[in-house]
A and B are shown apart, each in its own frame.
Chain A
Amino acid sequence: MPQIVLREALKRGLEEALDNDPRVFMMGEDIGEYGGAYAVTDGFLKKFGPERIKDTPISEQAFIGAGIGAAAAGLRPIVELMSMSFALVAFDQIVNMAANLRYMSGGQISIPMVIRAPTGAGVQLGATHSQSFETWLAEVPGMKVVCPSNPYDALGLMRSAIKDDNPVLVAEPALLYGAKGEVPDEYYEIEIGKADVTRTGTDITLISYGYGMRPVNEAADTLAGRGLSVEVIDLRSLSPIDMDAVIASVKKTNRVVVVDTARRRGGIMAEVTTDLQQRASEWLDGPIMRVGSVDVPWPYNRGLEREVLTDAADVLAAVAEGYGL
């Protein structure tokens, strides 16, 4: 199977949507002439022209809001935020408008819109460019949130996001744009709201998504080396969360560690933890262990940032603390 990087997988998903559906167009800061801050849309302007590849002013509220309006009118906009941290500037539009419009209009309006944004820390961008607000937006009813961990999922989820009639946030882990993986030439989609059991086992379940799959897989390898049978779940979607898959796994392994590379406090893993507590506590042989990045603003210094960011050692420490393994 051909190997491509995650950036190319995203690009393929976007390009085929632009090829196949004239209602699809893109907006964002420097996605055209410049080619996109992370080069995902490089070459698109030349191929699709300025009407469909729209460079915007640095006005996140205005262009996210304009995307919502265009979607309400029947187009299918794909809007790029240059950083997930910039979503804060447009939160009013994303939450009050995109997510609420359908409900408060009694179902009269749909917002078939994709918002894409690079997310996460790890490349020394400091406090304002390293945050992961997909965990906040996953709390908001009326929209969906996905976060791929590899090129295969990136393409499959992007296809589903673009086809979806709701606002969908695609959180693209910035550290993974160059990550390679197998992607078949045959068409496939990945259903939003379905987790992926990426490794089956019987002794312990490790759960994460997005960039968090990297420390989780590393930790799983280490544990396997110690003779443990590890099950690994990639949530893929943060809203809706596939709790059925999570619970089915925990019933089998009776041990669980939930892992986020976003800050530990609040966040999606608090949600997973609470649901597990309510629905599967009698199946557990120990505490639900939760791992996340340190609850401080993201530091710039490389050593500090690495220490704050969740890594495999943090996951292994939680396994040891919770279950003595």
Chain B
Amino acid sequence: MASSTKSSSTTSRETAKSPKNGKNSAADLDKSGIGAETDYLDLFRQMYLIRQFEIACGENYSKGSIRGFLHLYIGQEATGVGAISTLREDDYIVSHYRDHGHALARGLDINRSMAELFGRSTGTSKGKGGSMHLFDVAKRFMGGHAIVAGQLPLAAGLALAQQYNKTDDLTICFFGDGSTNQGVYHETLNLAAVWKLPILFFLENNMYGMGSSIERVRAGGIDFYPGMATYGIPAAEVDGMDVLAVKETTELAVARIRNGEGPQFIEAKTFRFVGHSLADGQKYRGQEEVKEWEERDPTITFPTKLIAMGLATSDQIAEIKAGVDLAVENSVKFAEESPDPDLSEIHTDVLA
């Protein structure tokens, strides 16, 4: 799909140069053939699954079935799906508290994920983690972390182990724009660069840290990727609403990491269409801004594009949607019918 390749290269800008720089120039990317075997329909299925899962979460939060804090990934689906589609089984994924999208994109069981949000014994963490703490170590999905930027050094450590064991596996670490003002963000970028760790720092810049727009809390504007020159970490910016652009930009970074070129950084510009959490009245931003971004909704624009280009039929799209809708409905049923954890579980899993 040549057009997607172009869209990637035009939205992908590189700043800091790696020692073997120039590998992700537009020309090279066109020749690379990346994306040739892309399963477009599956990318759509994943994005639509995340969307419907999140909608169901919101409904069940309103019903009181899901409690605590609930942060939805609605609007950001193309970012997580595009990035995670490039990984291998042995790669680690580390996420933040808005983690449902990454978990589902990694293929975590939808029933067990929903059950975790319901706090049930069948959940991924037996109901002990909740929405912000999804884990599936068998899938190398290493959380769900809810202290902003706290997950960065954990990810660096996973990458350190991959390096120590002399593999060509890597770790991808997702974080938001809000985490960039934490000291540990800088500490981890520096450590990873000094040790040339196989880690992909993936910034999901959705323009707001909870209710604070970037302009109000950051000196230096809304672009973060140029700052990576400080660390000598090659960095690219990508349109986070374009799943193929994200996929291709990530593939390039992943290839460099596997090639032993050390940490890479991608900044995806994206947007959550809903509040920070279900407790957010969104007083801090206007509906016009939300509407502008909603026009680029990847769960609508992407299938439209596939149909227009003859890569999918509307029947195929409808079939995927029906399948996903049923799976989500069943996941809620599964969660509802699952038992609460036994009280004896209070004392298990404290120590190994």
A-side interface residues toward B, CB under 8 Å? 25, 51, 54, 56-57, 59, 61-75, 77, 92-93, 96-97, 101-110, 112, 141-142, 144, 164-166
Contact = CB atoms under 8 A, between A and B. Distances in A.
B133 interface: yes
A59 B187 contact: yes
A68 B350 contact: no
Contacts of A75: 160-161, 164
B352 A65 contact: no
Contacts of A73: 92, 157-158, 161-162
Contacts of B187: 57, 59, 61-62
Contacts of A93: 150, 153-154
Nearest to B136: A108
Contacts of B155: 69
B108 to A, nearest CB: 12
Interface stretch (B123-131, B233-241, B327-335): B123-131
B137 interface: yes
B184 interface: yes
B116 to A, nearest CB: 8
The 6 A-B pairs of least Cβ separation, nearest first, read A69-B157, A65-B153, A73-B161, A106-B125, A62-B187, A165-B352
Interface stretch (B23-31, B39-47, B188-196, B313-321): B188-196
Contacts of A108: 125, 135-137
Given A68-B154, A69-B156, A105 B351 contact: no
A93 B144 CA distance: 15
B143 A101 contact: yes
A62 B153 contact: yes
Contacts of B191: 56-57, 59, 62-63, 66
Contact of A68 (B129, B153, B164, B183): B153
A183 to B, nearest CB: 28
Given A62-B184, A108-B135, A108-B136, A70 B129 contact: no
A65 B156 contact: yes
Nearest to B341: A106
25 contacts: A25-B164, A62-B191, A63-B153, A64-B153, A66-B153, A69-B154, A69-B157, A70-B157, A70-B158, A73-B157, A73-B162, A75-B160, A75-B164, A92-B147, A92-B150, A93-B154, A102-B352, A104-B125, A104-B129, A104-B133, A106-B127, A106-B135, A108-B135, A112-B352, A166-B351
A106 B350 contact: no
Nearest to A164: B352
A231 B259 CA distance: 63
Interface in B145-201: 145, 147, 150, 152-162, 164, 171, 183-184, 187-188, 190-191, 194-195
B349 interface: yes
Nearest to B349: A107
Contact of B352 (A54, A63, A110, A141): A110
Contacts of B145: 97
A164 B152 CA distance: 25
Given A57-B187, A105-B349, 5 more contacts: A73-B157, A77-B157, A103-B349, A105-B143, A109-B142
B348 interface: yes
Q: By CB atoms of chain A within 10 A, which of B154, B157, B348 has the most?
A: B157
A68 B157 contact: yes
Nearest to A111: B352
A194 B233 CA distance: 48
A72 B142 contact: yes
A21 to B, nearest CB: 13
A243 to B, nearest CB: 17
Contacts of B164: 25, 51, 70, 75
Q: By CB atoms of chain B within 10 A, which of A64, A73, A92 has the most?
A: A73
Q: By CB atoms of chain A within 10 A, which of B159, B195, B351 has the most?
A: B351
Interface in B50-92: 92
Contact of B157 (A67, A164, A166): A67
A96 B351 CA distance: 15
Contact of B161 (A62, A74, A96, A106): A74
A284 B144 CA distance: 49
A67 B159 CA distance: 11
B154 A61 contact: no
B125 A66 contact: no
Contacts of A102: 349-352
A77 B145 CA distance: 21
A63 B187 CA distance: 9
A147 B347 CA distance: 25
